[in-house]
Structure 1
Amino acid sequence: MTKPDDTIRILIPLKVRKKNGRPKILPPANYRPSEDQTQDPHILRAIGRAWGWRRRMEAGEFATIQELAEAVGLTERHVSRQLQLAYLAPEVLKRMTCIREASAVSLYDLCFLAGETWQEQPERAFN
């Protein structure tokens, strides 16, 4: 039996915030993921979805982003932003999907990275 003096207390500095109505645990601000961590599944899913949307638009299934957004049940702004993931540099896509290298930027920032030149994208995405 342990005495009250023998109790070990572990403090993990996490914050709980609501995102989309669900609680989400946020790590401390100075947290850096380990080197062996794989790619975030949300990023991989978003890239796959963006490529699917791009193919459907190129096939003529939808003429505008607004039509696509209505068909998939999302806002036009969200679809427009995430559709940009289909235009990332081949080097970035290869490192994220095949090598599963973790991105140094969030999914939100990654969407805007497609506006950069293909030479600048890998440096900004992984450094």
Structure 2
Amino acid sequence: MVAYVTVRFSGSSSIRVLIPLTVRKKNGRPKILPPTDYRPSEDQAQDPHILRAIGRAWGWRRRIDAGEFATIQELAEAVGLAERHVSRQLRLAYLAPEVLKRLTCGREASAVSLYDLCFLAGEGWGEQKRRAFD
């Protein structure tokens, strides 16, 4: 998709700017993606959906480790979510420390969606890092 922006100046002069856009759904919402050669600035914020999901997963993991819940099914019933959803998102608590650090503190955007990030926990730590950021 391409967007054109026309800027008109006083008089009859104007400039037309071509902006290449890629629109893709991310976390169920349309998102405009930057060009592949775009380098984000240092002040880029983390994805709030990913941060919230990681925090929730760690909270659930602590509650299971503390013995508050014996199974994922009990946890899912207590928090009012589907067992499948809880099971999938709980995997985020088992991501490699380097991946977690870069997602939460490093201000780096993940190259994969939150859904795909949930399945990286089953991979080796080196593979997680490569797939999440390359």
The 5 Å alignment of 1:25-64 reads 25-27=30-32, 32=36, 34-36=39-41, 37-64=44-71
Q: Is the 8 A contact 1:92 1:121 kept in 2?
A: yes
Does the C-alpha gap of structure 1 residues 68 and 122 become closer, same or farther in structure 2, counting only changes over 3 Å?
A: same
Equivalent residue number for residue 87 of structure 1: 94
Q: Is the 8 A contact 1:14 1:25 kept in 2?
A: no
Offset of 1:7 from its aligned partner? 9.2
Offset of 1:120 from its aligned partner? 1.2
Q: Which one has a larger percent strand, Structure 1 or Structure 2?
A: 2
* Greater than 6 Å deviation, 4+ residue runs: 5-15
- The runs of 5 or more residues in structure 2 that have no matched partner are 1-9
Q: What's the TM-score, normalizing by structure 2? A: 0.74
Residues 5-14 or 31-40, more deviating: 5-14
Mapped partners of 1:55, 1:110: distance in 2: 20
Q: Is the 8 A contact 1:50 1:86 kept in 2?
A: yes
Equivalent residue number for residue 110 of structure 1: 117
Secondary structure of the 1:27 match is strand
Mapped partners of 2:32, 2:46: distance in 1: 17
Offset of 1:10 from its aligned partner? 8.7
- After superposition, the CA RMSD in angstroms is 2.7
Q: What's the TM-score, normalizing by structure 1? A: 0.77
- The runs of 5 or more residues in structure 1 that have no matched partner are none
Mapped partners of 2:22, 2:126: distance in 1: 37
Secondary structure of the 2:61 match is helix
